[in-house]
């Protein structure tokens, strides 16, 4: 079964909009695990507009499943990850002012930079994952860097699937096959939802984990958090 890691950034966005501590991101992390999610994901950004660096520390004692911290590997982010030692660090090439992740790494151009970071993560017992577009050269580059996993950036698939273009899955499928042949684990995320997750799961071989935040939290407004997580788990079987 593909694991579901719930990204709770949007819970922090709601909290920050009002101040105080409602909703409580730590309690939500406890709850999503109690409801069956096999991981918790956060993506702290330099401006701390949703998840704050302090949240990462507060969550560490309560995440008993997989703790996945995403972000651009700037100095402050790396210091955080190396201190907390989460299950997985997902490296994302976000610029400082980006609204949301919008591209994968060029693993060829940034080979030296990423190789050094991956080596340091491995030395500290942290599983590494690199956010990539479904491009064979980028998958091959990721393997050469030495990362444990890739995370396929799925926005293009989700957009085309909504338009009825199911063939948009093809580059993801071929890249997943290539990644597996190169010894890479396969994660995926960005704009995956209850609408498209079953189709994606059924067509991507060896899919280990999906990280879902925005869609899942939006769906939970209508259907309830426990119910939505249950639906994802059913579709990911």
Q: For 27-38, what is each residue's pLDDT tens digit?
A: 999 999 999 999
- Please report, for the domain that includes residue 125, its CATH number: 3.20.20.70
Is 43 marked active-site?
yes
- Whole-number pLDDT of residue 99: 45
pLDDT, tens digit, 9 for 90 and up, residues 29-88 = 999 999 999 999 999 998 889 999 999 999 999 999 999 999 999 999 999 999 999 999
Three-state helix/strand/coil letters over the chain: CCEEEEECHHHHHHHHHHCCCCCCHHHHHHHHHHCCCCEEEECCCCCCCCCCHHHHHHHCCCCCCEEEEEECCCHHHHHHHHHHCCCEEEECCCCCCCCCCCCCCCCCCCHHHHHHHHHHHHHCCCEEEEEECCCHHHHHHHHHHCCCEEEEECHHHHHHHHCCCHHHHHHHHHHHHHHHHCCCEEEEECCCCCCCHHHHHHHCCCEEEEEECHHHHHHHHHHCHHHHHHHHHHHCC
| pLDDT surpassing 70 at residue 95 | no
Domain containing residue 139: 3-235
| pLDDT surpassing 80 at residue 100 | no
Catalytic residue among 50, 66, 151, 190: 190
How many separate domains does the chain show? 1
Catalytic residue among 43, 66, 151, 209: 43
Is 159 marked active-site?
no
Question: Which pTM was predicted?
Answer: 0.94
């Amino acid at each position: 079964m593909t694991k579901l890691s719930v990204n709770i950034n949007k819970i922090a966005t709601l909290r920050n909009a009002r101040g105080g501590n409602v909703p409580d991101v730590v309690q939500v992390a406890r709850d999503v695990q109690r409801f069956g999610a096999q991981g918790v994901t956060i993506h702290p950004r330099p401006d701390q507009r949703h998840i704050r660096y302090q949240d990462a520390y507060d969550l560490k004692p309560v995440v008993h499943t997989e703790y996945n911290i995403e972000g651009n590997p700037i100095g402050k982010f790396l210091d955080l990850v190396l201190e907390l030692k989460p299950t997985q660090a997902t490296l994302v090439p976000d610029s400082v002012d980006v609204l949301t992740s919008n591209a994968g790494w060029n693993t060829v151009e940034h080979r030296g930079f990423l190789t050094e970071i991956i080596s340091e993560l491995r030395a500290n017992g942290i599983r590494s994952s690199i956010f990539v577009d479904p491009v064979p050269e980028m998958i091959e580059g990721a393997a050469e860097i030495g990362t444990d996993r890739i995370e396929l950036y799925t926005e293009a698939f989700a957009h085309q699937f909504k338009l009825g273009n199911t063939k948009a899955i093809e580059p993801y499928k071929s890249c997943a096959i290539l990644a597996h042949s190169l010894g890479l684990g396969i994660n995926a995320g960005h704009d995956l939802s209850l609408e498209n997750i079953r189709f994606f799961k059924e067509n991507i071989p060896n899919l280990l984990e999906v990280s879902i935040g925005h869609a899942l939290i939006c769906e939970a407004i209508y259907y309830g958090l426990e119910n939505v997580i249950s639906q994802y788990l059913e579709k990911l079987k």
